[in-house]
Amino acid sequence: MNNGSAWLPEQASTLAPEIDALFYFVKWVSLVIFVGVVAAMLYFMFKYRRRDAAERPVPVKESKLIEISWVVVPTILVLIVFVWGFQGFIKLNVAPPEAYQITVRAKKWLWEFEYPNGTTTVGEVHVPVGRPVRLNMSSEDVLHSFFVPAFRVKHDVLPNRYTSVWFEATRADTFQVFCTEYCGTQHSGMLAKVIVHPEAEFREWLNSGGGNFDEMPLPEYGAILYQQQSCNACHSIDGSSGVGPTFQGLYGAERRFADGSTAVADDNYIRESILQPQARIVEGYPGVMPASYGSLNERQLSALIAFIQQQQ
């Protein structure tokens, strides 16, 4: 097990040691060349300094050996880095055919994962240890980028096109996923976890429906969605006013809209406000809520409504 260094994070995939080896090769070669060049420069500055005002420099005669070596040695070094890097690039891009496949959907500002048996998770992806896993990724809105430092994998996630990464985790643990393409106000909060299980535990997790939220009481599930779906970025639950109205005391209260009309915030009003945010805009707020929540399913909507109902 490698816990990382000041230069690189811990290694937790089969590809990490190879990628790091190339990094350290480039680092050490650069360091040796840098020290050599600076040392030679200082030595020559001293050796060939002007000692006397009447001194005239002697013309230098070229040295074939030195001229050839400063062309050949760097060329060989660059070719080593190229071949080594290209091999790594191919390995990173071509997943083994037997890889376990997981579908990844990115959207502002969360990661959603779907497994072959239909199980879905948000904000965490479960994978087996010691087995290649391929992520087939797409975005529902803008450019995102999927990055797991411990696995040394990073790839852009695009709307209207599939991209993929693959990795084989080398130990059961939890690793951090980042979004590394600026995608809006909550970009820095667009995080997820990779949870690596031993094979048997992974099977069990998957067969149990992925421990999804089917059995969780609605208000509790709603509280999770409130975070996961980033509702909390705009709607507080403590009464403070954000980009959007607070959820505190919302349920059952009378709402006044920009067009002067009013309505009582009941289940149907909240449902409409989630699915069609522009239908009725509360007076005093900009109508900036994205329409992307239209993809929430019925249970998720009920859960959010139940959660909002509790915020009195």
Identify which of residues 100 and 109 has a Cβ nearer to ligand CUA in the complex. Answer: 109
Q: Which is nearer to ligand CUA, 89 or 182 (CB)?
A: 182
Task: Map tokens 């998720």 to a residue.
Answer: 300
In this structure, what token pair is assigned to residue 45? Answer: 């500055």
Asked whether the beta carbons of 189 and 173 are under 8 A apart, the reply is: no
Closest CA to 123 of 181, 179, 162: 179
CB nearer to ligand CUA: pick between 24 and 182: 182
Pick 178 or 257: Cβ nearer ligand CUA: 178
Q: Give the per-residue contact string, 33-72, with ligand CUA (x = CB under 6 A; - = no).
A: ----------------------------------------
Residue 5 corresponds to which tokens in the numbers above? 């260094």
* Number of shown-chain residues binding ligand CUA (CB under 6 A): 8
Q: What is the largest CA-CA distance in the chain?
A: 98
Per-position x/- string for 103-142, each x denoting binding to ligand CUA as judged by CB under 6 A, each - no binding: ------x---------------------------------
Work out how close the CB of 259 gets to ligand CUA at its nearest, in angstroms, rounded to a whole number.
Answer: 34
| Residues forming a β-bridge with 157 | 144
Quote the least distance from Cβ 105 to ligand CUA, whole Å.
12
Least separation in angstroms between CB 272 and ligand CUA: 27
- Least Cβ distance, residue 186 to ligand CUA (angstroms): 8
Binding to ligand CUA, residues 170-189 (CB under 6 A): 179, 181-183, 187
CB of 108 to ligand CUA, least distance (A): 7
Cβ 34 to ligand CUA, closest distance in Å? 35
> What's the rounded Cα separation, in Å, for the pair 242 and 308?
16
Smallest separation (angstroms) from ligand CUA to the CB of 109:
6
Identity of the residue, 133 or 157, whose beta carbon is nearer to ligand CUA in the bound complex: 157
How many CB atoms neighbour CB 12 within 10 A? Answer: 25
Tokens found for residue 256: 């006044």
Distance in Å, CB of 175 to ligand CUA, minimum: 18
| Complex with ligand CUA: residue 142 or 296, whichever CB lies closer | 142
For residues 170 and 2, give the distance between their C-alpha atoms in angstroms, rounded to a whole number: 11
* Residue placing its CB nearer to ligand CUA in the complex, 108 or 126: 108
**Of 137, 206, 127, which is closest to residue 171 (Cα–Cα)?**
127
Is 144 a binding residue for ligand CUA by CB under 6 A? The answer is yes
Shorter beta-carbon distance to ligand CUA: residue 105 or 197: 105
Residues that bind ligand CUA (CB under 6 A): 109, 144, 179, 181-183, 187, 190
